[in-house]
Copies of this chain bind each other. A is one copy, B any other.
Amino acid sequence: MTAAMSYYDALDFGNADDETPCKREHEGASFSVRELTRLLHIDEPGETWQVRTAFALRRVHEGEALVHAGDKFHSLYVARSGCFKTVYTDLSGSEQVLGFPMCGDLMGADGIDSGHYRSSAISLDTSEVVILPLARMARLVYQSPRLEALIYRILSRELVRVQNMAWTLGTLGAEGRVAAFLLNLSARLGALGYSPCSFNLRMTRQDIGSYLGLKLETVSRALSALNTAGFIQVQQRSIDIIDADALRRVIDPAACDRAGFAPTRESIPKASGVENGGGRARPQVQSGIAWGKLAAA
C-alpha cells in the first residue's frame, strides 16, 4: 500500500512539481518530442506533435549510477549517447546484469509499478540521457494523444527485450548465448550507423557473463571457440564479426542442418584423451560445439 501511495504521489496529475528532483540536468541542453521520437525510432515523418515541451538531459560519467535500485521512482530515461548496464540486486547481495542499454534504449521502466526502481543503471562510459518525468509525460498525453501510444510502445518494447533474454537464458548453451549477444550488439550498433562487424565491447567478461548467466571463464572460452572457428575475431575487447550467418547457425542448429553445417563430428581428442561415446547435451536448442571442435574441423 505504501508503495502504491508513493507511486500515486509521484504521478499525481494535479500539480506535481515533477521537475524538482532533476537538479543535475546540465543547463541549456534540452530535447524536443520530435527528437525523442527519432531517438526511439518511433518516428512518423508527417507527424505533428502539437507540443512544445522540451525534456532535460543529464550527463552521467563512467562508473556513475543513473539510478540506484530502491530509489523512489520518478522518471524514465532514454540513453542518448554512451552505454549503461542495468543491474538487478537481490536482497542477499546476488547480482545480475539485466541489460546493456545504449543510444535509444529505455531505462527505469521497472520502477513504475512499485514506485521504486528495481535495478540500478550504471554508466560504462560518459553517457547522456533524456529525462522523461512520468508525471509530466502523463499530462502531455492530453496535448498530444500520439504520445500515449509512444509510451505504451516503449514499455512493450522493453518487455519484448527481456522476454527474448529469458528465451536466450532458458534455451541456449554457452556459445549460443555468446553468439546471440554478439549478433544483438552488432544489429544495434548497425542500426545506430556504426559498423555492425567491427566494434569494441564496453563491458568486462564478468559483466557479459552475469548478463548471460555464465562465468567469465566460460564467456572467454566461448569467445575463443568462436574465434578459433573463424566466425569472429576477438582480441580483448575488440570484436570483428567474420561470419554472421555462422553465428546464427550456432544459435539455431536446425538452420545449421539445413545449411549443411555439420556440428556432429567427434574428431577432437580434446587434449585429455577421454574419448567419449554417444550422449548429447542441451535440450531444445544446442550449440553442438565442443570447446575445440570447430578448431579441428
Interface residues of A (CB under 8 A from B): 4, 7-8, 11, 13, 42, 44, 88, 90-96, 98, 109-114, 118-119, 134, 138, 141-142, 145, 148-149, 151-160, 162-163, 165-167, 169-171, 209-213, 215, 252, 254-255, 283-285
Contacts and interface: CB of A to CB of B under 8 A. Distances in A.
A162 B166 CA distance: 7
Given A112-B155, A166-B169, 16 more contacts: A4-B44, A90-B167, A90-B285, A96-B170, A98-B167, A110-B159, A110-B160, A110-B163, A134-B152, A138-B145, A138-B152, A141-B141, A155-B155, A162-B163, A209-B283, A215-B283
Provide the main secondary structure of the chain A interface. Answer: helix
Closest 4 CB pairs of A and B: A170-B213, A112-B156, A169-B169, A113-B156
A42 B94 contact: no
Given A166-B98, A170-B169, A148 B159 contact: no
A121 to B, nearest CB: 13
Nearest to A42: B4
Given A152-B112, A285-B94, A212 B159 contact: no
The CB with the most chain B CB atoms within 10 A, among A113, A145, A163, A252, is that of A163
